[in-house]
């Protein structure tokens, strides 16, 4: 399907129908026509833009609906926000970007859900200088894994971190304390697209459906992921089991031997994430 779309776009542009250069797809095809990139590279990039991060976005949506089901007071406030938006639109009229900007409380709810259940466990950074930490040295050039849990559950940044409280996002959050999309110059390039997906999906669900948890007591399991280490170093790690009501500050769980320091990374697995992911992919296929 994408091959056909790319080739049709190229045919249009070569026949003189110039596309909007502000559109990334147009720039891709322009580069292909000039011989700067191949057709395969264009298709790969389009696939990346269209399908990448659907697992993380769907997971964030799934956890948001879980939190709304468990906190009916938050659901009522969120629904009122969307009812107000609908009251200003004609029947059948599509959402606009301006509508999504009015979803302030909805985004607070989504952000708080992503704080408690980060879609990513963390990422890597390269030490640009020797770092001394609690008597251990992280040498310059070493790869360091940071985790979202290290700050998302830290009381220094989030009071009563195990409590679901969307209102905490009414105030500015300290830099690099909240990192569901990463941070700095390499922050997730699709963070605004993910935000729109989340807000729009929530809007159409909360204004059309009621829901409840089929398994209210279903346990969320957090499993440590494999931990990277230098190829010529001995592996040293601790496995940490985190229970729902016994979460510990991961920023303080730093196993260190042979001068090698790293964080435990703990992604979350939850069953309804798969269902939300299938819904999103189905939704996209209908839009096409």
Verify that 135 and 40 share a domain, yes or no. Answer: no
Question: Among 146, 142, 147, 145, which Cα is nearest to 231's?
Answer: 142
Quick check: 266 and 121 in contact, CB under 8 A?
yes
Verify that 154 and 202 share a domain, yes or no. Answer: yes
Question: Among 123, 99, 51, which Cα is nearest to 204's?
Answer: 99
Verify that 26 and 113 share a domain, yes or no. Answer: no
Q: Give pLDDT tens digits along the chain (288 positions).
A: 678 888 888 888 888 777 677 777 888 888 888 888 888 888 877 777 666 667 788 889 999 999 999 999 999 999 999 999 999 888 888 899 999 999 999 999 999 999 999 988 888 888 999 999 888 899 999 988 888 988 999 999 999 999 999 999 999 999 999 999 988 888 887 888 899 999 999 999 999 999 988 888 887 765 545 433 344 433 333 333 333 333 333 333 333 222 222 222 333 333 444 455 555 555 555 544
Whether 221 is in a domain gets the answer: yes
Verify that 114 and 137 share a domain, yes or no. Answer: yes
Annotated binding site for heme: 188
Say how many domains are in the chain: 2
Q: How many CB atoms lie within 10 A of CB 152?
A: 23
Question: Among 209, 203, 213, 204, which Cα is nearest to 271's?
Answer: 213
Whether 22 is in a domain gets the answer: yes
Return the pLDDT at 102: 96
Quick check: 43 and 5 in contact, CB under 8 A?
no
Verify that 28 and 59 share a domain, yes or no. Answer: no
Verify that 32 and 159 share a domain, yes or no. Answer: no
Q: How many CB atoms lie within 10 A of CB 128?
A: 8
Whether 112 is in a domain gets the answer: yes
Find the CATH number of the domain harbouring 111: 1.10.630.10
Whether 258 is in a domain gets the answer: yes
Annotated binding site: 188
Q: Give the domain range for residue 41.
A: 2-51
Return the pLDDT at 46: 76
Verify that 59 and 25 share a domain, yes or no. Answer: no
For 288, residues 6+ apart whose C-beta sits below 8 A from its C-beta are 1
Q: How many CB atoms lie within 10 A of CB 268?
A: 18
Residue 174, by phi and psi: left (phi above 0), alpha (psi -120 to 50) or beta?
A: beta
Verify that 144 and 47 share a domain, yes or no. Answer: no
Whether 184 is in a domain gets the answer: yes
**Burial class, 136, CB count within 10 angstroms (exposed 0-12 / middle 13-18 / buried 19+):** middle
The C-alpha atoms of residue 35 and residue 168 are separated, in whole angstroms, by 51
Whether 72 is in a domain gets the answer: no
Verify that 246 and 119 share a domain, yes or no. Answer: yes
Verify that 231 and 97 share a domain, yes or no. Answer: yes
**Burial class, 15, CB count within 10 angstroms (exposed 0-12 / middle 13-18 / buried 19+):** exposed
Verify that 170 and 276 share a domain, yes or no. Answer: yes
Tokens of 168: 């905490």
Return the pLDDT at 271: 43
For 108-142, the DSSP string reads HHHHHHHHHS-SS-EEEEE-SS-EEETTEEE-TT-
For 194-205, the DSSP string reads HHHHHHHHHHHH
Whether 73 is in a domain gets the answer: no
Quick check: 248 and 242 in contact, CB under 8 A?
yes
Whether 78 is in a domain gets the answer: no
Verify that 59 and 26 share a domain, yes or no. Answer: no
CA of 215: how far to CAs of 160, 212, 218, 273, in Å?
26, 9, 5, 14
């Amino acid at each position: 399907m994408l091959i056909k779309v790319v080739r049709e776009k190229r045919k249009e542009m070569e026949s003189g129908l110039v596309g909007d250069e502000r559109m990334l797809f147009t720039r891709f095809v322009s580069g292909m026509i000039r011989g700067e990139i191949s057709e395969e590279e264009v298709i790969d990039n389009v696939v990346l833009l269209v399908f990448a991060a659907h697992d993380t976005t769907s997971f964030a949506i799934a956890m948001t609906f879980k939190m709304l089901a468990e906190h009916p007071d938050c659901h009522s406030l969120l629904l009122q926000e969307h009812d107000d938006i609908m009251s200003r639109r004609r029947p059948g009229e599509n959402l606009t970007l301006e509508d999504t900007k009015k979803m302030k409380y909805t985004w607070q709810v989504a952000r708080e859900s992503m704080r408690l259940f980060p879609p990513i466990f963390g990422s890597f950074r390269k030490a640009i200088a020797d770092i001394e930490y609690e008597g251990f040295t992280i040498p310059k050039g070493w790869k360091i894994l940071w985790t979202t849990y290290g700050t998302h559950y830290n009381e220094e940044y989030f009071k009563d971190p195990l409590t679901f409280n969307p209102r905490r996002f009414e105030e500015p959050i300290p830099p690099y304390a909240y990192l569901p999309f990463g941070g700095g110059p390499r922050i997730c390039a699709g963070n605004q697209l993910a935000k729109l997906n989340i807000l729009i999906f929530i809007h159409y669900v909360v204004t059309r459906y009621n829901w409840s948890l089929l398994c209210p007591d279903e346990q969320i399991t957090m499993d440590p992921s494999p931990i990277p280490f230098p190829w010529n170093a001995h592996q040293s790690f601790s496995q940490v089991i985190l229970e729902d009501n016994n979460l510990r500050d991961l920023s303080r769980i730093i196993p260190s031997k042979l001068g090698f320091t790293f964080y435990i990374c703990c992604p979350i697995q939850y069953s309804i994430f798969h269902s939300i992911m299938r819904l999103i992919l189905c939704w996209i296929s209908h839009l096409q």
